[in-house]
Amino acid sequence: MAAKRLIVVVESTAAMGPYWETILRDYLDKIIRCFGENDSTVQNSCSNVEFALVSYNTHGCYSGCLVQRTGWTRDPDVFFMWLSSIPFSGGGFNDAVIAEGLAEALVMFPNSQSGDPNQQNVDMHQHCILVAASNPYPLQTPIYVPQLQNLEQSETIDSFPGNRLYDAEAVAKAFPQFSISLSVICPKELPKIKGIYNAGNRNSKAADPPVLAKTPHFLILISEGFREAQGALKVGEGYSNSSESEKVAAKWPPVMQIVQLISQAT
């Protein structure tokens, strides 16, 4: 069975702080559980599901590290601890370096080029979720992005070998060409964040994805190639305090069970 990988790319500015608990509880928790569901009976060391985290901030002296990354883990409990421990600070009124965060995630995936960059792969095994609360930095910046081969010049994001300047949408265009799905979660309905999603999902024949937000004003766009996430959020809308949901929760790692208790209390 092919390895399945998920990278969550999170904005770590203070702008994300007030929304993070809701995003983690109502969206990421469900996606992570569903993504590793098929391996729930397999020991973590033998699992073929891997998780990683990338955090990004903004330019400026009041911000922390521009981009940080973890290694890969097969343990969803460890991954959830990483997500729960992100410090949110800095940012101010600056736009976030989303392009750098996406580029960092892109180079972490083992490259597997898609045969047709215009065809959305509905059986993808590598997925990226961008979690953003701010607009992307508007200017192109020097970023390393893997080279794309055998593409028409109009389709490549790096048509001239000396060009290493990209914005967030330009980096997003590389994801489908490497068979990586790109989804977005944003606590605000920011058109520029939707533009990044559209750039990373370039199947012109596909209809607009359903917005799976249960929270008002949230922008939740899940790639059609990320079926586990789509299923998790659609099913999650019907979860209740029934015996069935308790059976599912009993299989979660301890940290996830704590989040479920918080969810029930609120």
C-alpha 59: how far from its chain's center? Answer: 21
C-alpha span between 132 and 96 (Å, rounded): 8
* Contact (Cβ atoms closer than 8 angstroms) between residue 68 and residue 101: no
- pLDDT at residue 30 in the model: 94
pLDDT, average across residues 197-214: 73
* Contact (Cβ atoms closer than 8 angstroms) between residue 35 and residue 125: no
180-186: strand order across its sheet? 67-69, 49-56, 4-11, 126-131, 180-186, 219-221
- Give residue 164's pLDDT band: very low, low, confident or very high (50, 70, 90): confident
Closest by CA position to 224, among listed 205, 252, 247:
205
Among all chains, which residue has been given the structure tokens 């590793």? 36
Closest by CA position to 200, among listed 107, 115, 108, 99:
99
Closest by CA position to 110, among listed 4, 200, 227:
4
List of residues 6+ apart from 231 with CB closer than 8 A? 34
* Contact (Cβ atoms closer than 8 angstroms) between residue 175 and residue 181: yes
Closest by CA position to 177, among listed 206, 207, 199:
199
**11-15, 176-180, 204-208: range with lowest mean pLDDT:** 204-208
- Give residue 111's pLDDT band: very low, low, confident or very high (50, 70, 90): confident
pLDDT, average across residues 223-245: 69
Closest by CA position to 66, among listed 57, 54, 74, 75:
57
* Contact (Cβ atoms closer than 8 angstroms) between residue 153 and residue 217: no
Task: Name the pTM for this structure.
Answer: 0.81
Query: By CB neighbour count within 10 A (0-12 exposed, 13-18 middle, 19+ buried), where does 237 fall?
Result: exposed
Mean pLDDT comparison of 111-125, 214-228, 241-255, highest-scoring range: 214-228
The pLDDT mean for the chain works out to 80
What is the domain partition of the chain in residue ranges? Answer: 4-240
Could you tell me what percent of the chain has a pLDDT over 90?
58
- pLDDT at residue 124 in the model: 77
- pLDDT at residue 43 in the model: 54
| pLDDT tens column, 56-100 | 999 876 666 899 999 999 999 999 999 999 999 988 678 999 999
CATH class for the region spanning 4-240: alpha beta
